[in-house]
Amino acid sequence: MSDTLRHLAELVGFDTTSGGSNLALLAHVEALLDQHGVPHARQLDPTGTRGNLVARIGPAVEGGGVLAAHTDCVPVQGQPWTSDPFTVTARDERLIGRGVTDMKGFLASALAQLPAMVAAPLHRPILLLLTYDEELGTVGAPAAVELLLSTQPRPAAAIVGEPSLLQPVTAHKGVRAFTTIVEGVDGHSSQPQHASNALVAAARIATHIDALARRHREAAADPSFDPPYTTFNVATLHAGQAINIVPRRAELTWEYRPVPADDSDDLVAEVERYATEVVLEDLRATTGQGTVTFRADAAARALAPETDGPAEALVRRLTGSTTPASSVPFATDGGHLQAAGISTVVCGPGSIEQAHRPDEWIATAQLAACDAMLANLVGELSG
């Protein structure tokens, strides 16, 4: 347990707020891997400031287990912390610091088990998968999964160590976020026949999205979730300069969070069809000019329940849990692993109730239980 606490303090000390660099943390982990002779591969994002990491402990054979963790954390600005968020503080069997629950606690436990993993007679490998910018919409995960499958034998199961109080989570919604940009033609408000109003066009698209939301709300397709349907959010609309100018440009941001059955491109395609076939035609009616473009800002895949899923069965053997598997409304990197054909479960220490809050904390008992789970994994893959 002391090794886990030491690793947690070191990991929290790296400010890996989403959108910033995580390379110092990756270098720290790589140095630990090098000390134990563990092969690893790093993959940089297009900016060269963030990266994914894959490492393998054990033989290069199929059937191993993946331990997946994102390295980023959410910002602390504007939150009333009572201690330095990037220094772990112990209070009453709790450890306080940004990311202790979401999700550096799980990674610290994995690193603490590294010497035992290396020393064990593993018959199947343990694969470590670290990603960047999960909090921005699982940005690094698709490339990380490609790196995993291109450099390692195919694993049998993946454990995503997001906080679940070490109970199996077998389903979660996805997240799809977009910016829709409308370009029209500005003009004097007394002469609208010589202009193309981008704000009106964007508002019509927003209204169509709201109609989609109502349709899915009434369908209530998946009672395992709360709420039991795909949700939509029209978030921001920026347009206009003055009361007497027809708006030339409008930017609309929106998202939907699909239940697994709705997790495809069909919903955004429906919005795009309405925008191009109906709204754009009207936008161009007066001037013959206008465009509507869609930019995908985030795409987190949903996680669907697996019948007799190997990953769920694995964590039940490791933890002894008999609690029914649950569904959660937040997204993880796990959907991308499952989409690549790897059986996946979410199971990690701490509670999501403590994540993203000021004075984020994790119980020391949860870390001890995670240590035990990962020690059991070493035994499972050695047998």
**pLDDT value at position 347?**
98
∠ CA(177), CA(181), CA(183), 5° rounding? 175
Concatenated DSSP letters for 266-306? HHHHHHHHHIIIIIHHHHTTTTS--EEEEEEEEEEPPB---
Residue 381 parent element (H or E): helix 364-382
Query: Does the domain made of 175-300 have the CATH classification 3.30.70.360?
Result: yes
Q: How far from 22 is each of 27, 73, 160, 276, 325, CA to CA, in Å?
A: 9, 10, 19, 40, 32
The per-residue pLDDT of the chain, averaged, comes to 97
> Mean pLDDT throughout 179-204?
97
Contact predicate 67/110, CB 8 Å: yes
Q: Does the pLDDT value for residue 220 go beyond 90?
A: no
Q: Count the neighbouring beta carbons within 10 Å of the beta carbon of residue 258.
A: 25
Q: Which CATH superfamily is domain 2-172+303-382 in?
A: Zn peptidases (3.40.630.10)
Calculate the dihedral angle through the C-alpha atoms of 16, 20, 259, 317, rounding to the nearest 10 degrees.
Answer: -30
Give pLDDT tens digits for 258-287: 999 999 899 999 999 999 999 999 999 999
Known catalytic membership, residue 72: yes
Give pLDDT tens digits for 321-379: 999 999 998 999 999 999 999 999 999 999 999 999 999 999 999 999 999 999 999 99
Distance CA 63, CA 81 (A): 43
Residue 221: pLDDT band (50, 70, 90) is: confident
Strands in the chain per DSSP E: 40-44, 51-57, 65-70, 89-91, 94-96, 126-131, 157-160, 169-172, 175-183, 187-188, 231-239, 245-246, 249-257, 291-300, 326-328, 343-346, 361-363
Pairing of strands 65-70, 157-160: parallel
The token pair that represents 55 in the structure block? 């490492």
**pLDDT value at position 329?**
86
The token pair that represents 336 in the structure block? 């991308």
Residue in 72, 133, 312, 333 annotated catalytic: 72
Angle, nearest 10°, between helix axes 105-112 and 2-12? 130
**CATH 3.30.70.360 domain extents, the chain:** 175-300
Residue in 102, 133, 134, 135 annotated catalytic: 134
Residue 17: pLDDT band (50, 70, 90) is: very high
> Mean pLDDT throughout 234-251?
97
Give pLDDT tens digits for 35-56: 999 999 999 999 999 999 999 9
Residue the block writes with tokens 């891997």: 33
> Mean pLDDT throughout 236-258?
97
Give pLDDT tens digits for 297-324: 999 999 999 999 999 999 999 999 999 9
The token pair that represents 262 in the structure block? 């709705």
Distance CA 360, CA 40 (A): 31
**pLDDT value at position 224?**
92
Residue 180: pLDDT band (50, 70, 90) is: very high
Q: Does the pLDDT value for residue 383 go beyond 90?
A: no
Closest of 311, 278, 20, 267 to residue 155, by C-alpha: 311
Give pLDDT tens digits for 131-162: 999 999 999 999 999 999 999 999 999 999 99
Give pLDDT tens digits for 88-133: 999 999 999 999 999 999 999 999 999 999 999 999 999 999 999 9
**CATH 3.40.630.10 domain extents, the chain:** 2-172+303-382
pTM score: 0.92
